[in-house]
Every structure is written in C-alpha cells, then in structure tokens.
Amino acid sequence: MYALADCNNFFASCERVFRPELNGKPVIVLSNNDGCAVARSNEAKALGIPMGAPLFKIRDIVKANNVAVFSGNYALYGEMSARVQAVLREFSPSVEQYSIDEAFLDLTGIKADFDAYAKAISARCWRDTSIPVSVGIAPTKTLAKIASKLCKQYPKLKGGCYMHRPQDIEKVLRKFPVADVWGIGRRSVKKLDVMGVKTAWDYAQLPEETVRKLFALPGWRTRQELRGIPCIGLEDLPQDRQSICVSRSFAHEITQPAQLAEQVANFAEAVVEKLRKQGSLALEMVVFAFTNRFKENAPQAHEARVVVFPEGEADYRKLVPAAVRACQEIYRPGYGYKKAGVVVTKLMSAVSATGSLFADSEAAQRDARLSGAIESINRSFGPGAIRFGVQGSGEVYSTREHQSPHYTTRWEDIPTVKL
C-alpha cells in the first residue's frame, strides 16, 4: 500500500502559517521579479485567477477582491517542507520526497485502518505545521495520487482518502481525466484524445499490446498501476518526461562526506547535461542519499533535500553547487551510504522562458568548459577546493516587493506577538 501526501496550495499555505487572518481569503504567490501567479489559494482560484497569470493582467481582480499578494519566500517554503517531511516520517519508515510539496510513503507492513490512517496523517501535519495536506492511500502510487486529489475535491474526506475497493476505483477512474493521471505526458494525451480515450478508466481498459506499442514500458506501467497492480516502487522515479534523474548504487558504502559530495556533483553535472540537451529548465531539484536498507543492524538514513529555482535553471554553475550543498545537509556521520542521486522535476521549456539561456551557444559551451575545469580541480584537491562565487542558495532574486519575512530561518525575522 502507498500513500501520497500532497500539501494543498503549498506556497500560499506557507504564507498563511504566521498570518492566520488570511485563512479563507484569496492569496497568491508570484514568480521571480513578481511576474506571474505561481501559487493560488482556493479562494484565489475561485476568483478565476489562472495558474501563471501575469500580475499586470490580474491587477484589477487583485485590487477589487483584496487578494493578498506575496513574492516567493523560498527559505520559508523549504523549511516548512522539511517540517512536513519530518511529520510524515513518523507514519512510515520509508518516505520519498517527490517534490517540495509532495511525498510518497511506503506503507508495506503497516497494519492499520487505512482510511483513519490517511486522516490521521493529514491531521498531524496540520496540528504540527499548520500546513493543510491531502493524503491518498491506495494499492499503487498512481492510484494514491488520484486518491489525494479526491481529498481536495471533497472536504468531507477530512484530508484523507483510502481508495481500494475495485468498484470505488472504477467509479473514480471513470470520472478522472486521463490528462491528469501521473505519468501521462502531454504528447500522449494528444494521441489518446484521437483514440477517444478521455478518462483514466478508458486508459486502463486499453489492450496491453496497444499500450506497449504506443507508450512503451512507462505507459504500460501506468496502465497496470491504474488496475491496482503496483509497478512503480518507492525508489523508482517518475517515468514521465517531467523529470530527469541520475542516480547510482555504490559498490561500496560511502561514509566520507567529501566522497558523497563528489558523487552527487557528478550526478548533478550529468543531469544538467541531459537537461540542456532536451532544452529544459528545472524549477526544482531533489538530491537524495540512502543507506543500505537490506543491512538490518546498520543505522538507516533515507534523506532528500529539495532546492527550488523559481525562474527555472539549467546552468552548471547554479545546479552543481546547489546539489553539493544539499548533499552536505543530508550527510550524517556514522552512516554508510549505498545509493544517491539527483533529480530535476517540474521542467519547463527553455524557449518559453524569458531571456533564452540557449540563445548563446558559445556561452553555453563556455559554461561547460568552466564546469569541467572546476570538476577536475575539485577531483584533485577534494570537493569544494574551488567553488563558485555565487554558491549560496540556488535562488536568484531581484524584485521581491511583497516578500514575507524569513519567519523560520532568521532570528531577526521571527514573528512578533503583541501582548
């Protein structure tokens, strides 16, 4: 059994933690330079503010409805994300952080009333962190994702939904658009539309051979998952093109921080290479490291860190140092690391981004050469021997007129309470 815990309108919810008066009011969070709305509370969605709407286009709605507007505060979001993850770990020994606001839990071996369990996870996240979380539990990861979406649609479910009876699954899938199924890419949707496949149920009913022929192994796995047959394990990474992963199991356990950092730097570099090849920018990067879970008496660690790039990023000089820094945060002495990896998720096309990064291929090559030189120096003298001057947070800001304080990460910014 798997659970998917998805934070509702995560960035907007983070902004409400220390501003409870904004509960029930429309809230939006803007992209870098205060350009577009990248997160919306339910109330903002109800006002008809579309995802990605440029601020200048929605100024009237914002003004007329007194919408609370925030610039992205990624220090706050990252820290709140780590808190939610810590709560989730109390409900399962294996938690896979999928993105800054989503995590899968492997519930294998856990005996519980899963409907109550889902609701309990949601309630605990709310009590401890003040973040509303939708928890779906189902026999496969793909179905768990769908179950968590039901929680958002139906407040009656109290944040938790256990979906397992075949007749319930059928009822839900018959209404669930195939385009919203995890792992079904935009290109597949076009093909499916022509074939008259509109819902998740339609897709699950397609003959196995057809699916294999048209959508290869990943598409077949999604079909099986929709039928309740688990095909995607916890460490398997999402099969859609919305992410790129480079990871490896090590022949020998790594115990030294410098060694682990070196591996992670290599993975990050390989990821950037692929990212640039397909012309994408990454909005998020996940760095993870696991101990050997089959070694029973050894201390276990299964950690991940998310780095957010609000504008999208495909630059070695940004991604590699950020990955190394995340790795340093994950590393704990006394643990033997067996596997590590770097994943970029939430990819967007570089062409649609402002100021195309790939317009200047000479500059891109220069980046690559520079990166290579730095790599070889660090190989000889140890990671971090030479570093990027910009190495810091992986976040680039310019305009952030509406940014909230760094409530949870800077002493001078902690909230004040009037007595």
Q: Which of residues 125-184 bind another protein (CB under 8 A)?
A: 127-130
Cα–Cα distance measured from residue 305 to residue 262, given in angstroms and rounded to the nearest whole number: 17
| CB closer to another protein, 17 vs 29 | 17
Of 89 and 212, nearer to another protein (C-beta) is 89
Buried b (16+ CB within 10 A) or exposed e, 280-319: bbbbbbbbbbbbbbeeeeeeebbbbbbbbbbbbbbbbbbb
Q: Is 259 in the site for another protein (CB under 8 A)?
A: no
Cα 30 to Cα 346: distance, rounded to the nearest angstrom: 16
- 195 φ/ψ sector (left φ>0, alpha ψ -120 to 50, else beta): alpha
Asked if residue 118 lies in contact with residue 136, where contact means CB atoms within 8 angstroms, the answer is yes
Query: Residue from 27, 84, 103, 206 that binds another protein (CB under 8 A)?
Result: 84
The DSSP letter of residue 47 is T
- Give least dist CB 126 to another protein, A: 9
**Site mask for another protein (CB under 8 A), range 86-125, x = bound:** xx-xx-----------------------------------
The torsion angles phi and psi of 294, rounded to 5 degrees, stand at: -90, -10
Q: Which stretch binds another protein (CB under 8 A): 30-38, 237-245, 362-370, 405-413?
A: 405-413
* Using rule CB under 8 A, residue 408 touches another protein: yes
Round to whole Å and give the CA distance between 263 and 267.
6
266-305: contacts with another protein (CB under 8 A): 301, 303
Nearest Cα to Cα of residue 192 among 215, 226, 224, 173: 215
Around Cβ 393, how many Cβ atoms within 10 Å? Answer: 16
Stretch that binds another protein, among 84-92, 147-155, 188-196, 383-391 (CB under 8 A): 84-92
* Interface segment toward another protein; rule CB under 8 A; list 51-59, 172-180, 240-248, 408-416: 408-416
Looking at residue 404, the DSSP 8-state letter turns out to be P
Does 326 engage in binding with another protein (CB under 8 A)?
A: no
Q: Which CB atom, from 251 or from 419, has the smaller least distance to another protein?
A: 419
Give the integer Cα–Cα distance in Å for 276 and 324.
19
Closest of 298, 284, 262, 292 to residue 378, by C-alpha: 262
Comparison of 372 and 415: residue with beta carbon closer to another protein = 415
Dist. CA 85–CA 96, nearest whole Å: 9
Site for another protein in 330-389 (CB under 8 A): 332
**Strand pairing category for 133-138 and 2-7:** antiparallel
CB of 384 to another protein, least distance (A): 17
Name the residue nearer to another protein (CB basis): 123 or 179.
123
- In angstroms, rounded to a whole number, what is the distance separating the alpha carbons of residues 54 and 245? 31
Whose Cβ is closer to another protein: residue 82's or residue 314's? Answer: 82
- Closer by beta carbon to another protein, 120 or else 179: 120
Size of the site for another protein (CB under 8 A): 31
Residues 42, 45, 47, 79: which binds another protein (CB under 8 A)? 79
- Sole window of 319-327, 338-346, 373-381, 406-414 interacting with another protein (rule: CB under 8 A): 406-414
Give the residues lining the site for another protein (CB under 8 A).
20-21, 75, 79, 82-87, 89-90, 127-130, 301, 303, 329, 332, 407-411, 414-419
